[in-house]
Amino acid sequence: MDQNKKVFELKKIAKSFDGEQILKGIDLDIHEKEFVTLLGPSGCGKTTTLRIIGGFVTPDSGDVLFLGKRINDIPPYKRKVNTVFQKYALFPHLDVFENVAFGLRLVKTPEKEIVQRVREMLALVNLSGFESRRVDLLSGGQQQRVAIARALVNRPNVLLLDEPLGALDLKLRKEMQIELKRIQQSLGITFVYVTHDQEEALTMSDTVVVMNEGRIQQIGTPQDIYNEPANAFTASFIGESNIISGIMHRDRLVEFAGRNYECVDGGFAKDEPVDIVVRPEDVEIAPATSEFLCGTVKDVIFKGVHYEMHVACNDFMWRVQSTDFTPVGAEVGLRITPEDIHIMHRTTYGGEKG
Amino acid sequence: MKLNARWTSYPYIVWMILFTVIPLFLIGYFAFTDASGDFTIANMEQAVKYIPALVKSVSLAAIATVLCLVLAYPFAFSMSRLSFERQKMMSMLIMLPMWMNFLLRTYAWQAILEDNGVINMLLNSVGLSSVKLINTSGAVVLGMVYNYIPFMILPLYSVMTKIDKSVLEAANDLGAGFFATLYRVILPLSMPGIVSGTTMVFVPAVSTFVISGMLGGVNNYLIGDLIETQFLGNSYDLNCGSATSLLLMIVVLITMAIFNHFSDEDAEEALV
Ligand SMILES: Nc1ncnc2c1ncn2[C@@H]1O[C@H](COP(=O)(O)OP(=O)(O)O)[C@@H](O)[C@H]1O
Ligand SMILES: [Mg+2]
C-alpha cells in the first residue's frame, strides 16, 4: 500500500434526502491499492457515500477530490471508477461475454483485444466457459462474479463494491471473501467496499471506516478498530463487548462497578464520566474473594473453542469467555487486568449495557 | 379443486371460431365467387386496381406510426421514471380522451382544421391569411397520430417500467453517456414494446375510414373508405369488397412480417 498517494479525498461531505440529513460531514482519504471498507449498520449512509464517490449522487456541500482534482460535477461515465452494484444490475439482454465486454466496446477496443481481455477476466472470476450463457439463468454467486468481471475488465483506478456478497449463503460468502481479496491483491486496484458485516470487514480490509448515523466513528486498521475502539459505538458494533459507565478519577485510575481499577489510559479531566469497554475474552474467572469484582454465573453456552457465560454483578450483566467450564449459579470473581480496560470519552451512544 | 385446462379454454375456442375463423372463411368465399355463387377471380382483378389507394393507406399509416413512435418513446420513458403516484396519474391522463367517442373526437378535429375552423379563425384574427388544413394528407396523419398514440405509449411504457434504474446506472458507470445508454441498453430492452406499439398503431391506421373520410376529403380516399363503400355505401358489392379486404389483410401481414423480421435483427445486432 502506498500510504502517500491519495486516490480519493472526501472533504466535509454533507447530503440530505427529503430534508433529512443522511451524511453529516464525511472526511475520508482513500489511498492507492488500499482495501477500504465502510462498515456500519443499515441506513447509516454507506451506500450514499459510495454513490458520491461513483458520481451517482452529488453532495450538498463538501468536495470530492480525485488525484487532487475536484470532481464534484463530473458524471459517472467520465470517472475512472467502476462499481459492483448491490443487486448486480447485469444487462438482461446481453450474455455473459457481452456483459463483461460492455465497457470495452464503448471505447472502441479492437475485437481481438476485447476477446482476450474478457476471457482473462472470466478466468479470474472462475467463469471460463460461461461466455454465451444468459445472465438471468446464472446463480446468485455467478451473477456476482459477472458483475465483478464487468467492472474490473475496464481496469479502473478504484473499484466500488456495495455489499456484493449480501445475497450469498454463508459458505459461498466466505469463499468469495477470500477470492475478492486475492483479486484485489493480484491486480493492485483500490477497493472501496461497503458492508454491515463486521467480521467481513475485519477479514478483508486494510482500513476499516466505521460509520453510524451519517458520521465516521473511527478509521483504522482492523486491529486498531478491534483493540482500540474509539467510542462505545465502535466497541459494541465490532465484536462483543462489555460497555459500562464509570468515572476517571485521575490518570491511570478509573472507578466502575463500584470498585477502583488501575488502568493504562490518561488525559481525561479529573473525575470525568467515561465509558469503559472490556472484551469478553479479556475477563478472567477467578475465586470469589474480595480481591475481585464478584458475581453469579447466570448462564453458560458452549461455543466450540470456549464457554460463553453471563455473570451478574450487582445490576450489570458481564459477558465472559473462558475455556474452563463453570456451572450456572456459581459465585465467581472477575479478574480484569489494566491493559484490557479501554476507556472512552462519553458519547451519546448508549451501547448495549448489561 | 382442479380446473381442467382443456375445459377452461373452450369458451375462447368457440369465440375464435364464431368471430374470427368463420368470418375469414366467408371473406375468402365471397372474394372468389360471383353474385350467383360461381367461382371467379374477377373480384381479385378488380381489387388489384385499388392498389394506388392501398399504397396511399400504407404510406400514411407508416408515417403516422413513425410519428407516434418518435413522440411516444421519450414520453413513455420519462413517464416510466416518475414516482408511482405520478405514473398512475399520467396513464389516467393518456386514457382520458379514449373515454370520449372516437367519432366525436374526430369531429372536434374537423372543427379545428376547417377552412373557417378554430385555427384559421385564430390566424385571421392576428392578420394572417388562412391555410388549407382540412382535406389534406397531413390532416389524416394528424388524426391517426392523435387517435392511436395511446396504443403506442402504453406498451412502450409497460416495457420501460421493467427497466431497472440500477441497470441504467451500471451502463453509466461503465462509461456510457446518454446516447450510448439509449442505443445499447434502453432501445434493445424496449424492443418488445416498440414491436407491439407499432403493430397496434399501424394496423388500425392502415384500415381506417373514419379519419380519412372526415379529415381527408376526396383526395385522401384510403383503402378503408373503399371497403366501406363496397359493404355499406353506394357501390355495394359484397364480393368485390371481400376481395379488397383480403388484399388489405395480405398487405398488412406482409408489412408486419417484414417489420418483425427487421426488429428481431435489430435486437440481435444490439447483442453484438
Ligand atoms: N435517493 C434517495 N432518496 C431518499 N432517501 C434516500 C435516498 N438514498 C438514500 N436515502 C436514505 O438515506 C439513508 C441512508 O441510506 P444508505 O446510504 O443507503 O444507507 P446504508 O447503505 O448504510 O444502508 C436511508 O435512510 C435511506 O432511506
Ligand atoms: Mg446500502
Are A14 and A153 within 8 A, CB to CB? Answer: no
DSSP collapsed to 3 states, A125-173: CCCCCCCCCEHHHCCHHHHHHHHHHHHHCCCCCEEEEECCCCCCCHHHH
Question: How sure is the predictor about B260, in pLDDT bands with cuts at 50, 70 and 90?
Answer: confident
pLDDT digits (tens, 9 = 90+) for B4-27: 667 888 899 999 999 999 999 999
CATH 3.40.50.300 matches A6-227: yes
Are B240 and B43 within 8 A, CB to CB? Answer: yes
Are A297 and A325 within 8 A, CB to CB? Answer: no
pLDDT digits (tens, 9 = 90+) for B74-133: 999 999 999 999 999 999 999 888 888 889 999 999 999 999 899 999 999 999 888 899
Query: What single letter denotes the amino acid at residue A280?
Result: P
pLDDT digits (tens, 9 = 90+) for A283-332: 999 998 888 999 999 999 998 888 999 999 988 999 999 998 999 999 99
- Tell me the domain boundaries of chain A: 6-227, 284-335
Answer CATH for A284-335 from 3.40.430.10, 2.40.50.140, 3.20.20.140, 3.40.640.10: 2.40.50.140
C-alpha A244/C-alpha A277 separation (Å) is 7
C-alpha A121/C-alpha A104 separation (Å) is 12
Measure in Å the smallest separation between the Cα of A17 and chain B Cα atoms.
15
CB contact under 8 A, B271 and A87: no
What is the pTM assigned to this prediction? 0.82
DSSP state of A268: P
Rounded to the nearest angstrom, the distance between the alpha carbon of A87 and the centre of ligand 2 is 11
Mean pLDDT of B232-246: 89
Domains, in order of start, for chain B: 51-271 (1.10.3720.10)
Which positions ≥6 away from B5 have C-beta within 8 Å? none
Query: What single letter denotes the amino acid at residue A219?
Result: I
Atom of ligand 1 nearest to the CA of A163: 21
Give me the residues near ligand 2 (ion), CB cutoff below 5 Å: A 47
CB contact under 8 A, A89 and B169: yes
pLDDT of residue B4: 66
CB contact under 8 A, A89 and B272: no
What residues of chain A score a pLDDT lower than 70? Answer: 1-3, 348-354
- The residue whose C-alpha atom lies closest to atom 5 belonging to ligand 1 is A17
Q: What backbone torsions phi and psi does residue A55 show, to the nearest 5 degrees?
A: 95, 5
- Chain A residues whose CB is inside 8 A of the B190 CB are none
Which positions ≥6 away from B107 have C-beta within 8 Å? B214
Q: Complex ipTM, two decimals?
A: 0.82
pLDDT of residue B207: 92
- Chain A residues whose CB is inside 8 A of the B167 CB are 89-92
Which positions ≥6 away from A27 have C-beta within 8 Å? A10, A11, A12, A13, A216
Q: Which residues of B193-222 are buried (b: 16+ CB within 10 A; e: fewer)?
A: bbbbbbbbbbbbbbbbbbbbbbbbeeebbb
pLDDT of residue B2: 56
Question: How sure is the predictor about B263, in pLDDT bands with cuts at 50, 70 and 90?
Answer: confident
Mean pLDDT rounded to a whole number for chain B: 90
Q: Which of A94, A134, A152 to mutate to test the interface with B (most CBs of B within 10 A)?
A: A94
CA angle A120, A122, A128 (to 5 degrees): 105
